[in-house]
Structure formats: structure tokens, C-alpha cells
Chain A
Amino acid sequence: GIQVEQSPPDLILQEGANSTLRCNFSDSVNNLQWFHQNPWGQLINLFYIPSGTKQNGRLSATTVATERYSLLYISSSQTTDSGVYFCAVGGAGNNRKLIWGLGTSLAVNP
């Protein structure tokens, strides 16, 4: 099955810094989502981005499907950005399930 690798596993930033999170996947996908999991466990949708580039405020994401990777950019980080960021992919065809990476744990210090 599809393998998903996220890097770095842990990241510590000072408030105001920028960061890039990476997601590599091992096969063609028809779904790729980025999530932020808050301390209470809620998964918050950031981007649905099987290909291309999207931006939402201080966050942006790019997926290069042909090279099997996606990047999540966080600019001007805030303490509220802390938490775990997950990349999840869905394989091509009728398979609807999401395969998840282990996440990047981000701590933003004031």
C-alpha cells in the first residue's frame, strides 16, 4: 500500500518565524489533505490539495503529484499554530480511505 512520510517529526519555532513541512508519498494519489490536530484531538482541515498550490491566510500548500510530495508553508507563526500537522493521502481508483503520516509536532514559543 501507499507509504506516507512526513518531515521533520518535531519542530520548535519562535513566534514570527516561517516554516516548511514536507510530505512524501510512494504512489499516485487522488486525494491529499493537510490537517492540524489541536491539543483536544480535533482534526482541523487545512487544505484539500491533490495537486497544485493553494493559500489561506498565513498558510499555503503545494503538491507536486508527479514527484510525489507536498509542502505546507506556515508564515509568521503564532503560538496558536502549535500542535500536530498531519498529511493524509487517498490512493487512485475507488479506494476512499486516507493513509496517514506520523505527523509533524510543532511548538511555537512566544
Chain B
Amino acid sequence: DTGVSQNPRHKITKRGQNVTFRCDPISEHNRLYWYRQTLGQGPEFLTYFQNEAQLEKSRLLSDRFSAERPKGSFSTLEIQRTEQGDSAMYLCASSFPLLEQFFGPGTRLTVL
């Protein structure tokens, strides 16, 4: 059990650029979650996969955001045409079979 990993750990980009983050869950976990956390707040749910199926998306996930989990293993989160308001920590978690979620170290995005 190597834990949930996320890459990159930090990303600095200019407004208008596209960025992609990767999450590798704990190997036997079939549920994968994305959250976003801004300074001074608790994390907010973005989306949830069970295997390769995306079962729920938050209204926070605008048309510029897309998430995939093509083979039911790792997942990617892409943000198109980044805005300064997208600056945040993006957190990935996984779980199975219990509901307990385990989190990766996060990707800190700064949009200049």
C-alpha cells in the first residue's frame, strides 16, 4: 500500500493556459474522488468515479473542467482556459470497500 499519489505537486501557469493533473489511487480502491480547497476553507467535492464510471459531478465543475478515469485506475483532471479563481489545492482521494476516504498530497495550482 503506497498510498494515493498526485502529480505534479505544484503547478504555476498563466491565465488562459490548460493544465492537467494526475491521481493514482491506492491499488485495490475502485472509488476515486476529486476535491478542491481554497485558503481558509474545507475541501469542496468536485467529482466521483466508481471504476471508470463518473457517477457524480458538482456544479462547481464548470464546462472548463473535465475528469477521466479511462481504465478504472488512475484519473486525470483537466482545466481549460485557466482563470485566477482556479488557484487552489486540488485533492484526490480513494476508497474501497469501506466509505473511508484516503487522500493524496494534493496539487497546488497558481494561476498568474
A interface residue numbers (CB < 8 A to B): 4, 30-31, 33, 35, 40-43, 45, 48, 50, 86, 88, 90, 95-103
Whether the Cβ atoms of B98 and A42 lie closer than 8 Å is no
Whether the Cβ atoms of B41 and A98 lie closer than 8 Å is no
B interface residue numbers (CB < 8 A to A): 31, 33, 35, 37, 40-45, 48, 55-56, 58, 89, 91, 95, 98-103, 105-106, 108
User: What are 27 residue pairs bridging A and B, where the CB atoms are less than 8 Å apart in the complex?
Assistant: A31-B99, A33-B100, A33-B101, A40-B105, A41-B37, A41-B106, A42-B106, A43-B91, A43-B103, A45-B103, A48-B98, A48-B99, A86-B42, A96-B33, A96-B48, A96-B95, A96-B99, A97-B33, A97-B48, A97-B56, A97-B58, A98-B33, A98-B35, A98-B101, A100-B43, A101-B42, A102-B41
Residues of A within 8 A of B37 (CB): 41
Tell which of B45, B100, B101 touches A99, judged by Cβ atoms closer than 8 Å. Answer: B45
Chain B: interface secondary structure? strand
Chain A: interface secondary structure? strand
Closest to B35 in A: A98
Residues of B within 8 A of A95 (CB): 56
